[in-house]
Structure 1
Amino acid sequence: MSLLQRIVVDPAVVHGRPVIRGTRMRVSDVLALLASGASESEIVEDYPYLTVEDIRASLEYASATHAARCSLDGSNLSSIASSR
């Protein structure tokens, strides 16, 4: 199974936000945990229904959606930088 197959979007689950398959855990929640400094092992310990592969799938999903939204010429990057 591809890591991205672990991520589903269903309008009936968490208002259609991307979640880990078979759970209500949003990809954004996993990313927030990682951004706050939690390790993969800490997340799996605190959320035993998740696996390391689920966490990596969340990262891959975030990377794929970010890449799809950004242009290769960097025009989006300049607007992001100027807003900081």
Structure 2
Amino acid sequence: MNWQQYISLNPEVMTGKPVIKGTRITVELLLERLGNGWTMEQLMESFPHLSPDSIRACLLYAADSVRNEIIHNIAA
């Protein structure tokens, strides 16, 4: 699966935060809820525009985001 199929970044929508295409539902919100123990079923019930694939796309987006991080070791 390719997260770009489900997630868009547009400066005109939610100030450019990544959202589920066609919605104002941010990836950040969904990741936060998943991290707090929400199930996919609970997310889809609360946000009827979501599909299992759109939720998984958020996880793939997050993985891509941290994969490209540059880590600097700063001595204390």
Flag whether TM exceeds 0.5 (same fold): yes
Contact kept in structure 2, 1:7 and 1:20, CA below 8 Å: yes
Q: Which residue of 2 aligns with 1:35?
A: 35
- Cα separation, 1, equivalents of 2:18 and 2:53: 16
- Cα separation, 1, equivalents of 2:3 and 2:17: 17
**2:63 aligned with 1:49:** no
Q: Which residue of 1 aligns with 2:17?
A: 17
Larger RCO of the pair (alpha carbons < 8 Å, separation 6+): 2
Sequence identity (%)? 34
Number of residue pairs the alignment of both structures matches: 74
Runs of 4+ in structure 1 deviating by more than 4 angstroms, as ranges, are: none
Structure 1: gaps spanning 5 or more residues = 71-75, 80-84
Question: One-letter code of the match for 1:34?
Answer: L
RMSD: 1.7
Question: If each structure's helix is expressed as a fraction of its own residues, which one has the higher value?
Answer: 1
Structure 2: gaps spanning 5 or more residues = none
TM-score by length of 2: 0.87
Question: One-letter code of the match for 2:37?
Answer: G
TM-score by length of 1: 0.79
- Cα separation, 2, equivalents of 1:66 and 1:3: 14
